[in-house]
Amino acid sequence: MPLLEVKNLRVWYPIRGGILGRRIGWVKAVDDVTFSIEAGQTLGLVGESGSGKSTTGKAILGLAHISAGQILFEGNDITDSARRNRSPYRKSVQMVFQDVYSSLNPRKRVLDIIAEPLRNFEKLTKAEEKKRVDELLSIVGLTSDAAVKYPFEFSGGQRQRIGVARAIALKPRLIIADEPVSALDLSVQAQVLNYLKDIQKELGLAYLFISHDLGVVRHMCEHLAIMHNSRFVEFGTREDIYSSPTHIYTRRLIAAIPDIDPLKRDENNRRRIEVAKEYTDRREDYYLDSTGVYDLKKISATHMVALP
Ligand SMILES: Nc1ncnc2c1ncn2[C@@H]1O[C@H](COP(=O)(O)OP(=O)(O)O)[C@@H](O)[C@H]1O
Ligand SMILES: [Mg+2]
Three-class SS state of 124: coil
Please provide the size of the chain in residues. 308
Q: Kindly report the average pLDDT of the chain as a whole number.
A: 92
Beta strand pairing call for 304-306 and 231-237: antiparallel
Q: Ligand 2 center to residue 98 CA distance, Å? A: 9
Alpha-carbon distance of 22 to 277, in angstroms, equals 41
Q: Ligand 2 center to residue 231 CA distance, Å? A: 14
For position 268, what pLDDT does the model report? Answer: 85
Cβ of 195 closer than 6 Å to ligand 1, yes or no, is no
Cβ of 53 closer than 6 Å to ligand 1, yes or no, is yes
The residue that leads in pLDDT, 260 or 50, is 50
- Given a cut of 80, whether residue 291 has pLDDT beyond it is no
Domains of the chain: 41-62+90-228 (3.40.50.300), 229-308 (no CATH)
Q: What is the pTM of this model?
A: 0.93
Contacts of residue 149, Cβ cutoff 8 Å, sequence gap at least 6: 109, 110
Residue 64 alpha carbon, nearest atom of ligand 1 = 1
pLDDT band per the 50, 70, 90 thresholds, residue 81: confident
Q: Which one of the ligands is nearest to 58 CA?
A: 1
Q: Which one of the ligands is nearest to 50 CA?
A: 1
Alpha-carbon distance of 157 to 191, in angstroms, equals 8
Q: Average pLDDT for residues 248-270, to the nearest whole number?
A: 87
Q: For a pLDDT cut of 70, what percent of the chain falls above it? A: 99
For position 289, what pLDDT does the model report? Answer: 84
Alpha-carbon distance of 294 to 17, in angstroms, equals 29
Q: For a pLDDT cut of 90, what percent of the chain falls above it? A: 73
Q: Ligand 1 center to residue 235 CA distance, Å? A: 21
pLDDT digits (tens, 9 = 90+) for 171-220: 999 999 999 988 888 888 888 899 899 999 999 999 999 999 999 998 89
Alpha-carbon distance of 119 to 117, in angstroms, equals 5
For position 18, what pLDDT does the model report? Answer: 83
Residue 47 alpha carbon, nearest atom of ligand 1 = 22
The residue that leads in pLDDT, 242 or 266, is 242
- Given a cut of 80, whether residue 86 has pLDDT beyond it is no
